Amino acid sequence: MNEIKKRVEELTKILNDANYNYYVLDNPTITDQEYDKYLRELMNIEKMYPQYAQTNSPTNRVGGEVIDKFKKVVHEKPMLSLSNVFSEEEIKEFDVKIKSDGYNPSYVCEYKIDGLSVALIYEKGKLIKGVTRGDGVTGEDITHNVKTIKSIPLILNKPIDIEVRGEIFMNKKTLYKLNEKRKQLGLPLLQNVRNAAAGSVRQLDSKETAKRELDNFIYNLPEADKFNIKTHLEALQFMKDLGFKVNSESKLAKNIDEVIEYVRKTTIKREKLAYEIDGIVIKVNDLNLQEKLGYTAKYPKWATAYKFPAQEVLTKLKDIIFTVGRTGRITPNAVLEPVIVMGSTISRATLHNEEYVKSKGLMIGDIVSIRKAGDVIPEVVEAKTSRRTGQEIPFKMIEKCPMCHEKIIKISGQADYYCINPSCPKRNIESIIHFVSRDAMNIEGMGDEIVEELYNLGFVKNIIDIYALKNKKEQIMEFDGYGEKSLNKIIDNIEKSKENSLERLLFGLGIKEIGTKTAKLLASYFKNIDNLMQANIDDLKDIKDVGQVTAGSVVSYFKDNISLINELKNIGINMDYKGKNAGSNDLVTGKKFVITGTISGIGRKEIKEKLESYNAKFSESVSKNTDIVIVGENPGSKYQEAQRLNIPIWNEEKLKEVLNNLQ
């Protein structure tokens, strides 16, 4: 064999082994100096003989690859989240529920690592892709950054095709060191280990990620059956043997009492760990039983996460300020002396309304206790009255809107005050922000700050003005920060939003009591806005899950807003429900589809939604009953199966052509 190629292979092995021993086993076998020497030698060879540079060379560890944009990747199997329990009692209930189905499982207890989940895909034992969880269906391709994480193997011990999932995280000490450096440089500090890890993997330049010293634990093997693995514990061992870093604290618990014992022990150990954990994950060990227990739309039923109780910290209540929401609701907010609770810096907390503040007897200047649990928003628990100095100022509810200075009113029977001035700037800005938001009209590019600026500049004073922006392009471009390209994009997205299905509009209008779920319910029931506007309270109450208050709110909204709806209609905004059963298309309606691989520019969820709205059916596997298989980039074995069974195949081009022809 060629001498150079041989040396490349030798060096690769030395460096990969050294990495594994140091970062996975925590058992260094060579010195840092030796490592650097070998790494430099390999880098030099790769520079002189690029033809020998391997895609998964250990030189990737130092970063170098820069991308200009994160590619979207659809997960082969969705990446689910976990249900939560908050007490020993709830842990027992989780067990009782499974037992009530007639099972008697043993569990695996694992640390719930506070980081971000990642899917790692290997082909023939080589790492080819790292993808973030994203929304669970579609994630972002972060391969270039994943390769810099030294505890993630670039090459496995066996040349197999496999996907594994786990958590990327940052050690507590690393965050501390990083923040010390940032302080010196005058950069904003990273709030907590999770944000720091998430920000680090979302760097376009992998050299930046390499500097962040990220780490990982692998805890999930989505296709264990492919390897004839029967239990979660076996899956962990299997992944460990392949070279992955698996947390050695994961333990088998024969019954729920052993789970609780593990939880208690870990609660004590937690502080001393090098990394942050926010709970314990409890998983049914038997994979067969896992399948039997199945899933809800979001969570597996065979696992749950026990979350550690909220931590309480004392700080000073410096002030109480008031904000105005889109409905005009006035909310008091606590301004706090910044304090770190559960790894996050807290300086604000909502105080909900006047009664809430009064019931807690809060005074400005009080020492208060703050509570925060994981992702949950911070809460002011109580004032430490024994620490009062006499300088505290009593709380007083305001009488005028802090934005427009009009008198605010309280609706009888309700706790909240409202600003009812229809031209209150803050109310209007908030309602426009709501209208364009993701779950409403989903106008990408119109972020909160842009909306506020366009409002202040007088271009968008209400939702009707959004649709006239295209006529004001030249004027807007005179202001700083508005390039033609970005403006065109926003205008395109505005135009596209006209085609949204009715429920998006209903939610976006900001009708009191109408969240996304009720909006969808109303849209699918009434099919178009005219039917809905003609409905009276009784008609509305006929719908399951719609009560008196919601029905009343809908009727009164449309009574007051007929002209707004007419204007929106004249602009050309769709007012029909386009969901299920809405359309019919010979190529799609009634057909059974299977998707494999990635389609560029469109997520799997979106494709499904669109085709399902034309009454298409989807299934996970190809059979002789499948009508069409959609094949994207990097398809799985479903592609071969489709060819074997002679099932019509749509490539990306064909799919997009069909989608374009649907409404």
Provide the binding-site residues for ligand IVH, judged by CB under 6 A: 80-82, 110, 112-113, 117, 133, 167, 219-220, 281, 300, 303, 305
Per the residue annotation, which of 71, 92, 99, 112 is the catalytic one? Answer: 112
The least distance separating ligand IVH from the CB of residue 194, rounded to whole angstroms, comes to 10
Which amino acid is it at 275?
Y
Helical packing angle, 652-661 and 604-612, nearest 10°: 40
Q: What is the 3-state secondary structure (H, E, C) of 380-441?
A: EEEECHHHCCCCCEECCCCCECCCCCCEEEECCCCCCEEECCCCCHHHHHHHHHHHHCCCCC
The token pair at 192 is 């907590």
Residue with smaller CB distance to ligand IVH, 110 or 354? 110
CB of 120 to ligand IVH, least distance (A): 13
CA atoms within a 13 Å half-sphere pointing along the CA-CB vector of 408: 27
- Beta pairing partners, 282: 109, 304
Helix H or strand E segment including 288: helix 287-293
Q: From CA 180, how far away is CA 174, in angstroms rounded? A: 10
Between 81 and 619, CB nearer to ligand IVH: 81
Burial class (CB in 10 A: 0-12, 13-18, 19+), 282: buried
Q: Where are the alpha helices (DSSP H) in 483-574?
A: 484-497, 502-508, 516-526, 529-534, 537-541, 548-560, 562-571
Residue entry with tokens 């000073």? 316
CB of 522 closer than 8 Å to CB of 576: no
Q: Which C-beta is closer to ligand IVH: that of 80 or that of 568?
A: 80
Q: How far apart are CA 597 and CA 76, in angstroms?
A: 8
What's the min distance (Å) between Cβ of 602 and ligand IVH? Answer: 24
C-alpha distances in Å from residue 165, one per residue of 109, 251, 476: 17, 18, 46
Q: Which residue, 303 or 476, has its beta carbon nearer to ligand IVH?
A: 303
* E strand residue ranges, 133-222: 138-140, 162-169, 215-220
CA end-to-end span of the chain: 60
| Residue 304 C-beta: closest distance to ligand IVH, Å | 10
Name which of 117 and 203 has its Cβ closer to ligand IVH. 117
CB 591 within 8 A of CB 627: yes
Of the pair 77, 496, the CB lying nearest ligand IVH is at 77
CB of 264 to ligand IVH, least distance (A): 18
User: What is the DSSP code (8-state) at residue 470?
Assistant: G
Q: Which residue, 86 or 525, is less far from ligand IVH as judged by CB?
A: 86
> CA 153, CA 132: separation in Å to the nearest integer?
17
Residue 579 and residue 474: Cα distance in Å, rounded?
37
Task: Name the token pair of 578.
Answer: 């386009």
- Closer to ligand IVH at the Cβ: 148 or 220? 220
Residue 634: CB minimum distance to ligand IVH, A: 23
Active site residue 569: no
The answer to whether residues 536 and 552 touch, using CB atoms and an 8 Å cutoff, is no
Q: Which residue carries 């395109």 as its tokens?
A: 492
Least distance CB 157 / ligand IVH (angstroms)? 22
Q: How far is the CB of 136 from ligand IVH (least distance, A)?
A: 8
Nearer to ligand IVH, 133 or 371 (CB): 133
DSSP assignment of 56-115 equals: T-GGGGG---B-SSPPEEE-SS------EE-SHHHHHHHHHHHHHTT----EEEEEEESS
Residue nearest ligand IVH by beta-carbon distance: 117
Report the largest interatomic distance among the alpha carbons of the chain, rounded to a whole angstrom.
88
Minimal distance, residue 274 CB to ligand IVH, in Å: 15
- Complex with ligand IVH: residue 300 or 508, whichever CB lies closer: 300
Identify which of residues 219 and 418 has a Cβ nearer to ligand IVH in the complex: 219
Residues 6+ apart with CB under 8 A from 288: 230
How near is the Cβ of 146 to ligand IVH at its closest, in Å? 15
Looking at 580-619, list the stretches that DSSP marks H as alpha helix, in order from N- to C-terminal side.
604-612
Categorise residue 280: left if φ over 0, alpha if ψ from -120 to 50, beta otherwise: beta
Min. distance of Cβ 374 from ligand IVH in angstroms?
Answer: 9
Which sequence positions are flagged as catalytic? 112
